[in-house]
Amino acid sequence: MTPADSPTHPVDPMHLVDAVLDPGTWRDGDAPVTDPTDVDPAYAEQLRRARERTGWDEAVRSGTGSVAGHPGAVVLGHFGFLAGSIGVAAGQRLVRAVRRAAAQGLPLLASPASGGTRMQEGTPAFLQMAAVTTALQEHRAAGLPYLVYLRHPTTGGVLASWGSLGHLVAAEPGALIGFLGPRVYEALHGEPFPAGVQVAENLRDHGLIDAVLRPGQLRDVAARVLSVAAAGRAGGWGSPHDAATGASPAVVVDAAGLVAVPAAEMLRRSRRPDRPGVRALLRHAATDVTVFHATGSGERDEATVVALARLDGVPCVVVGQDRVRQRERALHPAGLRAARRGLRLAAELRLPLVTVVDTPGAELSRAAEEAGLAGEIARCLNDLLATPVPTVSVLLGEGTGGAALALFPADRTLAARHAWLSPLPPEGASVIVHRTVDRAAEMAERQHVGAAALLARGLVDGVVPECPDAADEPVPFTRRTAAALAAAVRELVAEPPAGRLAARRARYEQAPGGQVP
């Protein structure tokens, strides 16, 4: 028994249909294939035996079905059919399946298991990877989700094209996933490929895939993703719900309505270790949450959270800075690359974007500089200001420097009562001006960094109350925040996109007015 045909890695992909799709919903969508002309007799015999052995006419098969009632298109690869290799006929079948899904407005779930390009057909087969990628671009341009589940093994051109382009990419446990197959590597280099590298779990740990899932787990994840994405496409922004009994006061939009808080107290409260952050917001005040873990660039930074979720019923992409993880490691350029992935996700799925600013500042180190910290801040800020979807940001706690700026500008901006935004931590500003950290609170007052001052100058549109401190009421506070974010999104989706984008840019081109409260 080969590894690909073991109980852990069943070779017949139809087991995935049974595990993931709703019973009885699978419908085959393929027309018969046409074999290439002038086929070598030995290759023709290989095709005949593969068909006889597997019951499939090619290495890929497509169809439709539903996951938890959400209709979708499915593409499956069969490793038992000539190692799941992609020839011209298989490539054309893939292209037709992807374009059919786009035309029908269907999400796409692809599950390859392949050694890559079919060597018997050479370069024409190799170039099918470009044709499939083009079709996937059309599918993504239609705002449709593309989910990939890599099975054992997936290598070569398949991994380097449609196997890596999903909005979400997961793999089955223990699967061999890599660009160059280990057998080919050993033949070319005279030594085995290093053990443990081309394994699904290692790819997840290096931020190259989002998750390692069993088929049953894949069903649950796919159902959540499709639920949020489908609601977004349908404009199903939900309706407000009574998030907590005895609801707290509404968002404050006039700075005169805010009780003064000394800067030293504001700084202390914003830095409490038990203050709720973005993960608390998702845990207490969101539903249908799917967290994405990959940056796709061989790194992972848990200080940035990217998730699909519903806030108060509103489907959105949440990109937030995690205050807890930043105590372990300051925000690295990898975290900004993760954030940019979240921005692309929102734009491609046409979902509103919610950003959560909560950072003591980016990592200041040689490693961060050499990883392109300043450039990543600039690119994240650029992407945020240019994204075509409605954007809402919330300043949840600390907001220090470029790391905070990268996620702050939006169509609507909110701040928690004890949150603040500053080019440096107040201690740093105090050192620059007074050569001591002891006047940090004074500098915070003078620089107008607090929520009340930001509201008075029109730099935030509303302040979420803390009663009296978010850390003392984490569940009501996070639910109140989610309701405020959702209300802002509902207002924005009714606005024309072109006008919304122009207004977003214009608000930062003029000097703010108002009096310091």
Report the alpha-carbon distance of residue 299 to residue 249 in Å, rounded. 42
The reply to whether 362 and 464 lie within a common domain is yes
Crossing angle of helices 88-103/128-141, nearest 10°? 10
Question: Which stretches within 387-515 are classed as H helix?
Answer: 401-405, 426-434, 440-446, 451-456, 474-493, 497-506
Q: What distance lies between CA 174 and its chain's CA centroid?
A: 23
Q: Pairing state of beta strands 70-77 and 60-67? A: antiparallel
The reply to whether 347 and 437 lie within a common domain is yes
Does residue 56 form part of some domain?
yes
DSSP letter assigned to residue 120: T
The reply to whether 161 and 280 lie within a common domain is no
With b meaning 16 or more CB within 10 Å and e meaning fewer, what string describes 269-305? bbeeeebbbbbbbbebbbbbbbebbbbeeebbbbbbb
Does residue 235 form part of some domain?
no
The reply to whether 165 and 276 lie within a common domain is no
Report the alpha-carbon distance of residue 58 to residue 54 in Å, rounded. 9
Pick the last residue of a domain from 229, 261, 289. Answer: 229
Domain housing 220: 3-229
The reply to whether 186 and 254 lie within a common domain is no
The reply to whether 199 and 347 lie within a common domain is no
Pick the last residue of a domain from 229, 260, 279. Answer: 229
- Note down pLDDT in tens along the chain; length 517 residues: 334 444 456 678 999 999 999 999 999 999 998 877 778 899 999 999 999 999 999 999 999 999 999 999 999 999 999 999 999 999 999 999 999 999 999 999 999 999 999 999 999 999 999 999 999 999 999 999 999 999 999 999 999 999 999 999 999 999 999 998 788 888 888 888 888 999 999 999 999 999 999 998 999 999 999 999 987 676 655 544 433 333 335 799 998 889 889 999 999 999 999 999 999 999 999 999 999 998 877 788 889 999 999 999 999 999 999 998 888 888 889 999 999 999 999 999 999 999 999 999 998 889 889 889 999 999 999 999 999 999 999 999 999 999 999 999 999 999 999 999 999 999 999 899 999 999 999 999 999 999 999 999 999 999 999 999 999 999 999 999 999 999 999 999 888 888 999 999 898 887 565 444 4
Report the alpha-carbon distance of residue 378 to residue 403 in Å, rounded. 10
The reply to whether 82 and 215 lie within a common domain is yes
The reply to whether 417 and 463 lie within a common domain is yes
Domain at 93, CATH number: 3.90.226.10
The reply to whether 195 and 121 lie within a common domain is yes
The reply to whether 418 and 458 lie within a common domain is yes
Name the nearest CA neighbour of 241 among 315, 314, 307, 290: 314
8 Cβ neighbours under 8 A, 6+ residues apart: 152, 173, 174
Domain count within the chain: 2
Report the alpha-carbon distance of residue 29 to residue 93 in Å, rounded. 10
* β-sheet bridge partners, residue 309: 316
The reply to whether 304 and 440 lie within a common domain is yes
Does residue 513 form part of some domain?
no
Does residue 241 form part of some domain?
no
CB atoms closer than 10 angstroms to residue 516: 12
Does residue 512 form part of some domain?
no
Report the alpha-carbon distance of residue 198 to residue 141 in Å, rounded. 31
Tell me the pTM.
Answer: 0.92
Pick the last residue of a domain from 229, 260, 295. Answer: 229
Does residue 515 form part of some domain?
no
Structure-token match 């998030």, residue found: 243
Does residue 48 form part of some domain?
yes
Tell me phi and psi for residue 352, to 5 degrees.
Answer: -55, 150
The reply to whether 196 and 255 lie within a common domain is no
190's tokens: 């005279």
